[in-house]
Structure 1
Amino acid sequence: MLTKAAVTYGKGEPFKIDTITIDDPKDGEVLVRIKAVGICHTDLIVRDQYYPVPLPAVLGHEGAGVVEKVGNGVTSVKPGDHVVLSFSSCGECTQCLSGNPYACQKFFELNFSGKMKDGTCRLHKDHQDIANFFGQSSFSQYAVASERNVVKVPKDVPLEILGPLGCGIQTGSGAVLNKLKPEEGSSIVIFGCGSVGLSALMAAKVANCTTIIAVDLQDNRLQLAKELGATHTINPKNSNVVEEIKAITGGEGVNYSVETTSIPAVLRQAVDCLATLGKAAVIGAPPVGTEVSLDVNTILFERSLTGVLLGSGVPQLFIPKLIDLYKKGKFPFDKLIKFYTLEEINQASEDSEKGITIKPVLKVS
C-alpha cells in the first residue's frame, strides 16, 4: 500500500515529504496507522549521520496510533487497539530472556541497521529499499513494527500525546525510577531541561525526592522545571554549578544526578557534584567516540556512574505505569508537548534544536 512519509535522503538534508510503498506485516509484525509521533534528539543525530543508519530512511521512533492489521502469530494486540511504539529487541538473547530488553545483544542491529529482524525492509520507493528505523519508522502515515515494539495503551487518554512515552519520556523517567531508584527524602540534580531531563525531574518528584535541582542555560526551561517540581534551579551562565549544588546541599553534594546534555564537561560536573556514595546516570547520546575525563579520587569515595538505555525498563510494563501516573495528575508530561503537522517536520526539528520547543509532536493522520 502507499503511505505519505517524511524521508531522509541524504546526510543533514531536510526531511522530504514523499509517497512511498509499505509492505503488509509479516509473521509477528503489526501494521499501525500513525496518529502522532514525537521528534527525538536521536532522530536528528541520525539525520545528520552521527549514528550511521543507511540512507534513504524513514526515521521516527516515538509513534502512537491504531492497529490496522496484524501478521500471523501476533496475540498481544488486535485491529482497533491503541498502541505506542517503542524500541526493538530480539526476545531471544540472554538479556531479553532475563527481562532486560533495553540491553538486547542485537539492539544496534534491530534499531539502527535499517532492516527488520528478518534482514529485509518494509519500505520502498521506485523499487529501491528505504531503511527502517527502530523497527517502526513512524514519520509516516503507516508503520510496520515488530510485536515486541508495540505497547497497548488505554483509549481514555488522548493518543496524540502518548508517542513520546516510547523513547524520550520513558528514558528520562526510567533513569530515575528504574535505574537510580532514589530513596524518599533524597536529593537529585538534573542536568538539562529538555524532554528527557524534565521527565527525569517529574519522576524524581514521584519518587518523593525532597531536593530537586534543575540545571539549564535557558531561563524559560528553568521556570517550567519549577512548575514541574524543581526545588532549586541553576543557570550555569550565572554561577559555578558544582559549588552551588554543594551549597544547596550543605556542602555534601547530591545523592543522585542525571546528565542529559551529551556534553563531556557537564558529565564531569554530574559526577563531581555527588555526595559520598552518590550515583550519576548518563543519558545524553554524543557522537560515537566521545570521551570524558574524571578524577579517579572522586570515584574512589564510593561514587558511581552508570549509563541508561531507554529508561532501563520493559515498555509493555513501564509505559502503562507512566500513563497511570499521568491520569492521577502525578506525571504531567503533556506540558512538554507542542504539536505540528507532519508537513511541518523541518520547522519542528529546528524549533527543537534551538530550544524553542521541548517536545515536538507531529500529528500525522
Structure 2
Amino acid sequence: MPVTTAALSRDPRAGFHIEPVVVDDPRAHEILVRVEAAGICHTDLVSRAAGSDERPVLLGHEGAGTVAAVGSEVTGVRPGDRVVLTFRHCGACRNCRLGRPAYCAQSVRLNQFGARPDRTPRVTAAGKPVRDGFFGQSSLAGYALSTPDNTVVVPPGTDLAVAAPLGCGFQTGAGAVLNVLRPEPDSTLVIFGAGAVGLAGLLAALTLPDTRVIVVETAAARRDTALELGAVAALDPGTVDVSAAIGELTAGGATHALDTTGRPDVLATAVGVLGVGGAAAAVGLGAGIPPIDVRDLVLSGKSIHGCLEGDSIPARFIPELLALHAAGRLPLDRLVRTYPHTDIDRALADQRAGHIVKPVLTWATV
C-alpha cells in the first residue's frame, strides 16, 4: 500500500490541504497508477463546493502517470504502461454499446465518488477513510486507483503534463468540434468562452481544412491567446454587439458555434449567430432555459447538440489527439502550465487572475 501526498478538501470554503495518504493495493479489477500529472478542471472546484458532509474529499479527474500494479483480473493494461485516466462507463448499457460512453446509464454511480462494492476504503488519511472515486480515479494524489474502462494506454514518450487534460477538458473541447460539429471545408466556427475547453476546441478546429474560428471572450488575455493560436477574430461581448459583428465577419452567419459557458443567454446568442443550416454544440454545465426563437430554429434548419466529454470513445480519441499533437498539428502544450502539486493554491490563483489557461499539477517521479 503506497504512502503518498494528496490535495485534500476538508472544507469546501477553504483551500486544499496537502496531506499524506495511504492508497490501497489494487483489487482484482483495479489498476494502481503512479500519478505524474493531473489537470485541475472547473468540475473539481464545483464538486468541492457542492460536496457532502463526508470529509476529507479527494478530487481530480484528469490524471496521467505510469501503471504501478494491476489486479489479478485486469487485462490489456500492464505495469510500466503510460496511461491517461478519464471518465468511467459500464460498457454494457445501450449507450455504451452504441459508442457513446459519456452517456452511460451507470455514469452517476460510477463517476460520482463510486465506492467499492464491499465499502472498504481505497484511500485513508490518518487512518480514516477519504471520500474518493471521483470519475473513478481521484487523481489529485501521487497514486490513484482506476479500472480498465477509464484507463487509456498512451505511447511511452508521451508528455503526461500535456496528456493529462485529455481525460476531460481538452477531450471535451476537441471532441465537440471533431466528433459532434464536424465542420466541413469553408466553415466558420464561433466559440463562446476561451478557457481550456474553448481553446482546445479552437486548436482542434484548426486541424481541419479551411476552417475559420471566431472567439467571443470577456477576458483580454484570453482573447489575445486565441488570436495567437490562430483565431481570425476575438470579440469582447462587453464592448461590441456580438451578433452584428459576427454577421459582418461571416456575411450571413456562422456555420457552427460552440458554447462552453453554460449560460442560457450565451447559448441563445450562439444559436442566433448561425446561418441557415448551422449547428451549435453546448458543453457547459449551466442551468436555465435559453431564450431561443423557435421560428428561426425551424425555418433556418438550425440544430443544437448537447455534448458531454466530447461525445468520444476515450480509448480511441485520446490517442488520436496525441498523434495530432506529436505531428505538431495540435499544440495543446501552449495551453498548459505545470506546478508542483504543493503549489495548488498558487495554480488556482494564477488561473483565476487569467495568467494561465490550464494548470496541471505534477508529482515527482521515482
* Corresponding residue for residue 295 of structure 2: 297
Runs of 4+ in 1 over 3 A off after TM superposition: 51-55, 116-121
Q: How does 1:233-244 map to 2 (within 5 A)?
A: 233-244=234-245
Within 5 Å, give how 1:128-147 maps onto structure 2: 128-147=129-148
Shift of 1:8: 1.2
Contact 1:8 1:58 in 2 (8 A): yes
1:183-231 per-position Cα deviation (integer Å, ceiling 9, x unaligned): 1111110111111001101111112243210111122212221222211
What do residues 272-324 of structure 1 show as CA deviations (whole Å, max 9, x unaligned)? 111121111011122xx533322222222211111111011111100111011
- The share of aligned pairs that are identical, in percent, is 41
- Range moving further from structure 2, 293-302 or 230-239: 293-302
Residue 255 of structure 2: aligned partner:
255
Distance in 1, matches of 2:318 and 2:64, equals: 12
2:31 — aligned with what?
Answer: 30
Please tell me the residue identity of whatever aligns with 1:132: G
1:3-27 CA distances to partner (integer Å, 9 max, x unpaired)?
2111112223211111122111112
For the 8 Å contact 1:176–1:203, the answer to whether it is kept is yes
Asked if the contact 1:54–1:131 (Cα under 8 Å) also holds between the matched residues in 2, the reply is no
Q: Distance in 2 between matches of 1:135 and 1:27?
A: 15
Q: Which amino acid aligns with 1:131?
A: D
Residue in 2 aligned with 1:105?
Answer: 105
Matched, 1:124 2:116: no
Q: How many residues are aligned here?
A: 361
What is the one-letter code of the residue matched to 2:18?
I
Contact 2:183 2:211 in 1 (8 A): no
Equivalence for 2:334: 335
1:158 aligns with 2:156: no
The answer to whether the Cα contact below 8 Å between 2:65 and 2:82 also exists between their aligned partners in 1 is yes
Task: Name whichever of 81-90 and 16-25 sits farther off.
Answer: 16-25
Name the SS of the counterpart of 2:92 in structure 1: coil
How much has 1:261 moved relative to structure 2?
1.4
Q: 1:121 to 1:283 in 2, by over 3 A?
A: farther
What's the counterpart of residue 72 of structure 1? Answer: 72
1:169: which partner in 2? 170
CA distance in 2, matches of 1:118, 1:277: 52
Q: Deviations over 1:18-38 (max 9, x none)?
A: 112211111221100000110
Q: CA deviation at 1:53?
A: 9.3
Judged with a 3 Å threshold, the aligned counterparts in structure 2 of structure 1 residues 73 and 149 are, in CA distance, closer, same or farther, namely same
Q: Which amino acid aligns with 2:324?
A: L
SS of the residue corresponding to residue 230 of structure 1 reads coil
Counterpart contact for 1:217–1:236, Cα < 8 Å: yes
Query: Where does residue 311 of structure 2 map in the other structure?
Result: 312
Task: Give unpaired runs (5+ residues) of structure 1.
Answer: none
Tell me how far 1:156 sits from its aligned partner.
2.0
Partner of 2:86: 86
TM-score by length of 2: 0.94
Q: Which amino acid aligns with 1:102?
A: A
Q: Give CA-to-partner distance per residue, 1:95-148, whole Å, 9 cap, x none.
A: 112221111111111111442577654122323342321100100000000111
Q: Which amino acid aligns with 2:233?
A: H
Cα distance in 1 for residues equivalent to 2:63 and 2:9: 17
Deviation, 1:267, is 1.3
**2-structure distance, mates of 1:61, 1:199:** 17
User: Do the aligned residues in 1 keep the contact of 2:70 with 2:78 (CA within 8 Å)?
Assistant: yes
Tell me whether 1:324 sits opposite 2:334 in the alignment: no
Other structure's SS at 1:72 match: coil
Instruction: Tell me the amino acid that sits aligned with residue 179 of structure 1.
Output: V
| 1:202 partner SS | helix
Equivalent position of 2:363 in the other structure: 364
Q: 2:43 matched to 1:42?
A: yes
Alpha-carbon offset, residue 362 of structure 1: 0.5
Distance (whole Å) between structure 2 residues aligned to residue 53 and residue 269 of structure 1: 38
The corresponding residue for 1:284 is 284
Secondary structure, aligned partner of 1:130: coil
How far, CA to CA, are the matches of 2:139 and 2:53 in structure 1?
A: 15
Residue in 2 that maps onto 1:58: 58
Query: Any stretches of 5+ residues in structure 2 without a counterpart?
Result: none
Local SS of the residue matching 2:330: coil
* Distance (Å, rounded) in 1 between the aligned partners of 2:76 and 2:118: 20
1:271 aligns with 2:301: no
Cα distance 1:54–1:184, how it changes in 2: closer, same or farther (>3 A)?
farther
